[in-house]
Amino acid sequence: MSKRRLGMILLLLMFVPFCVAMLTLVSPSFEAWQARQPVKLTSWLNPAPLSRGHRMFGDRCSTCHQKAFRAVTDDACTTCHTQTLTHVAYSDRLGARHVDIHCVDCHAMHSVKEAMTEMRSVPCVECHEKNGRQLAENRDFGKAHATFRLAFIRGDKTLHVREDQSPLPLEQSHLKFSHEVHMKQDGVSSPEGQTVLDCVNCHQLEESGRRFATPTMTGTCQQSGCHALRFDRPLSGVVPHGTAREVTDRTRNAYANWLADNSADAGLACGWKTSRTVTHRQLLDCAERVSGEYLNNTLFKQRGDDLGCALCHELVATNMKDVPLTIAPILVQHHWHESAQFPHDMHKSAKCTDCHNKTSSKSASDVSIPGLAKCRECHVGQQGYTEKVSSGCADCHNYHRVKKDRKSNGLGEYG
């Protein structure tokens, strides 16, 4: 080996400790000094540019490298990332069988990749193996993964049931609806004529692109002039889609005006002699009684044909005299797979009916969420496959709080 080459090698070898020594100098005051210099010394030490979210820290290396010769600690990250949640809600359970795992085991900081959410090989299975057999059975989506659990809303609780349980429980959204009636091939009759409906007439993706918004009365049911809320005996009118109280008040006022303007009708409806002079209070009382009776037979009718609210809603009795019936709260599930995510916008090439057998569903309580076998038609695990979509655990699951709490996070925000 020539002296020159040896010299170069020695120089390089010295350069490494030099660099490490430099890191000890990297302190906020050094960085403040450096910021005024034309050449940034720390940029020589930088193994690769910082990922996108952190580039704004530029040459302030001490933001993370708080101590020289020490690995960057989790504390350095959590001083800024205060909202980052633990993997499972009960963090002590994780702690008890804790596997020594740190933020940087999964998040590459100096990375040529654009985003830090591009993971390093994520040690999901390794840790699950130490946390119980059932968890460890999920090791490869294509070959070893549990059948899915579906989350049924039961008031403010959730019932978890395997997709293959037969029969499945019913969805209790308190909405009444038949897909079959609306999906007839020759369409449904509407004021605008026979209208053939498509799934997306009623199901619109939320802005996130992941899930669908609940179809609404005004935006969905009343399209094409369908489903007006009328009352028509003996007085006719239309009520807006509001609460039971708003509807009651609106009709009562309409009846009061009608009675005030038509003394003959008022006499008949209220059982007064036509010659009698009535006070405003008496008129209102009568309007309340009469409208209450009519409402019970029209908009708030509970059984039979020509239903009002009960066409779509379950009605529940209240203990209020002026509003005896109200609407059961709507609890449509938007997140059947609580601990995983499903982006609808990435599956646009498949037909809705490939995954949801809905055209012959007669009741809103039917559930038609596809299972593991359906996903495996396209998705497989990460290694040893060629022709299908290779998917790692973190493609479908969150890590930070894998299962979000419905109450504290709100239904729509998950994933």
Residue the block writes with tokens 């790692």: 392
Closest CB 169 distance from ligand HEC, rounded Å: 12
Show contacts with ligand HEC in window 223-262 (CB under 6 A). Answer: 227, 229, 239, 241, 243-244, 247
Return the number of the residue (270 or 389) whose C-beta is nearest ligand HEC.
389
Closest CB 269 distance from ligand HEC, rounded Å: 22
Cβ distance 390 to 381 under 8 Å? yes
Closest CB 220 distance from ligand HEC, rounded Å: 6
Closest CB 353 distance from ligand HEC, rounded Å: 5
Residue the block writes with tokens 């995954």: 355
Q: Residue 215: phi, psi to the nearest 5?
A: -60, 140
Cβ distance 215 to 226 under 8 Å? no
User: Which x/- pattern over 186-225 shows residues binding ligand HEC (rule: CB under 6 A)?
Assistant: -----------x-xxxxx-------xx-xxxx--xx----
Closest CB 157 distance from ligand HEC, rounded Å: 15
Strand, coil or helix: 325: strand
Closest CB 29 distance from ligand HEC, rounded Å: 15
Q: Segment contacting ligand HEC (CB under 6 A): 9-17, 81-89, 252-260, 264-272?
A: 81-89
Find the binder of ligand HEC among 230, 289, 352, 385 (CB under 6 A): 352
Q: Segment contacting ligand HEC (CB under 6 A): 9-17, 140-148, 256-264, 274-282?
A: 140-148
Question: What CA–CA distance (Å, rounded) separates 109 from 46?
Answer: 11
**Judged by CB under 6 A, does residue 119 bind ligand HEC?**
yes
Cβ distance 308 to 300 under 8 Å? yes
Report the 10 Å Cβ neighbour count for 388: 13
Show contacts with ligand HEC in window 272-331 (CB under 6 A). Answer: 299, 308-309, 311-313, 327, 329-330
Show contacts with ligand HEC in window 58-77 (CB under 6 A). Answer: 59, 61, 63-65, 72, 74, 76-77
How many residues line the site for ligand HEC (CB under 6 A)? 139
Give the Cα-Cα-Cα angle 45, 50, 55 (nearest 5 degrees): 115
Show contacts with ligand HEC in window 160-179 (CB under 6 A). Answer: 171, 173, 175, 177, 179
Return the number of the residue (283 or 336) whose C-beta is nearest ligand HEC.
336
Backbone conformation region of residue 158, classed left if phi is above 0, alpha if psi is from -120 to 50, else beta: beta
Task: Spell 120-142 as b/e; 16+ CB within 10 A means b.
Answer: eebebeebbeebeeeeeeeebbb
Closest CB 76 distance from ligand HEC, rounded Å: 5
Question: What CA–CA distance (Å, rounded) separates 343 from 207?
Answer: 11
Find the binder of ligand HEC among 27, 66, 138, 224 (CB under 6 A): 138
Closest CB 371 distance from ligand HEC, rounded Å: 7
Question: In sequence order, what DSSP letters do the residues of 253-309 get, joined into one string?
Answer: HHHHHHHHH-HHHHHHHHT--TT----HHHHHHHHHHHHHHHHHHTTT--SSSS-SG
Closest CB 61 distance from ligand HEC, rounded Å: 3
Return the number of the residue (103 or 260) whose C-beta is nearest ligand HEC.
103
Show contacts with ligand HEC in window 35-54 (CB under 6 A). Answer: 42, 45-47, 50, 53-54
Return the number of the residue (291 or 339) whose C-beta is nearest ligand HEC.
339
Query: Helix %, strand %, coil % for the chain, to 5?
Result: 35, 10, 55
Question: What CA–CA distance (Å, rounded) separates 114 from 52?
Answer: 6
Residue the block writes with tokens 């709507």: 330
Show contacts with ligand HEC in window 92-111 (CB under 6 A). Answer: 93-94, 99, 101, 103-110
